[in-house]
């Protein structure tokens, strides 16, 4: 049994620090690096790529809507061609910083509202999949399990990875509950460990209504802007390894 552990990093910008990237990169296996639209900037992107390389962590692009004030968590009405160009632009920036370090972009994971829209909107999902295929065709496309984004990636010929979330509640359709709901985000170590173990060991998750649904994931996400996230990921990784789970990035040899 194996799982990839990913986290959103590189989300600081200018004089503002977000997250615990240096500590977090010691425990995760895949890093989703912000590309300057919802967070991050050119200096942070370069620094984060270098840190990921030093820790032998797989590097992925984390493109989002152009919405720094809302941290990319506000939906925006954009035509598919604009979304395609926006994602190509962001992947291209990270790809060049990776090339300087002699490494590849191994995956792409949309951020926030773009990710959630792509989970249910076929046109948005197709635009993102096309952008990934045209820029990094060998990369994995990360998407919510059973989402339109994964279907779009498979149709165009990409490798895809179903993603689950350690600290987010699900509805009965297998979608993430809105952050506007008071119980949409899990906060205690006990709640998060229970959800992580259910997903990884048993392929299931308890929904916000208390029912249980099937959920088989290839990669597990921890939010890099969460409180004490680095400590929490270390604890969750240790618990998984104690349970006999191998923690490796996607594409790594068995």
Within 8 A by CB and 6+ apart from 202, the residues are: none
Q: What pTM value is reported for the model?
A: 0.95
Parallel, antiparallel or unpaired: strands 219-222 and 159-165: parallel
**Cβ 156 vs Cβ 149: under 8 Å:** no
**Domains in the chain with CATH codes:** 2-247 (3.20.20.370)
Q: What proportion of the chain, given as a percentage, has pLDDT over 90?
A: 91
User: Is the predicted pLDDT of residue 253 greater than 70, yes or no?
Assistant: no
User: If you average pLDDT over residues 72-100, what whole number do you get?
Assistant: 97
User: Is the predicted pLDDT of residue 54 greater than 60, yes or no?
Assistant: yes
Residue 190: per-residue pLDDT: 94
Residue 226: per-residue pLDDT: 72
User: Is the predicted pLDDT of residue 78 greater than 80, yes or no?
Assistant: yes
User: Is the predicted pLDDT of residue 252 greater than 80, yes or no?
Assistant: no
Q: Considering Cα of 118, then 189, then 218, then 86, what sign does the dihedral take?
A: positive
The two tokens of residue 151 are: 């279907």
Q: 160: which strand partners? A: 141
The three-class DSSP label of residue 75 is: coil
User: Is the predicted pLDDT of residue 254 greater than 80, yes or no?
Assistant: no
Residue 141: per-residue pLDDT: 98
């Amino acid at each position: 049994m194996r799982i990839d552990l990913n986290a959103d990093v590189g989300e600081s910008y200018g004089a503002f620090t977000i997250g615990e990237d240096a500590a977090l990169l010691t425990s995760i296996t895949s890093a989703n690096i912000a590309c300057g639209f919802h967070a991050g900037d050119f200096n942070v992107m370069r620094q984060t790529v270098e840190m990921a390389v030093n820790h032998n962590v797989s590097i992925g692009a984390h493109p989002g809507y152009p919405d720094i004030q809302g941290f990319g968590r506000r939906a925006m009405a954009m035509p598919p061609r604009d979304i395609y160009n926006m994602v190509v632009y962001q992947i291209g920036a990270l790809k060049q910083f990776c090339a300087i370090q002699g490494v590849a972009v191994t995956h792409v994971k949309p951020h926030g509202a773009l990710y959630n829209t792509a989970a249910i909107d076929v046109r948005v999902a197709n635009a993102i999949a096309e952008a990934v295929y045209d820029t990094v065709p060998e990369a994995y496309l990360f998407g919510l399990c059973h989402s339109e984004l994964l279907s779009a990636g498979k149709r165009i010929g990409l490798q895809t990875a179903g993603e689950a979330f350690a600290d987010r509640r699900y509805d009965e359709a297998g979608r993430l509950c809105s952050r506007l709901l008071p119980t949409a985000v899990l906060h205690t170590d006990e709640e998060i460990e229970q959800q992580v173990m259910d997903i990884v060991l048993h392929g299931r998750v308890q929904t916000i209504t208390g029912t249980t649904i099937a959920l088989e994931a290839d990669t597990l996400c921890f939010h890099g802007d969460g409180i004490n996230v680095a400590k929490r990921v270390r604890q969750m990784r240790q618990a998984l390894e104690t349970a006999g789970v191998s923690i490796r990035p996607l594409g790594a040899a068995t």
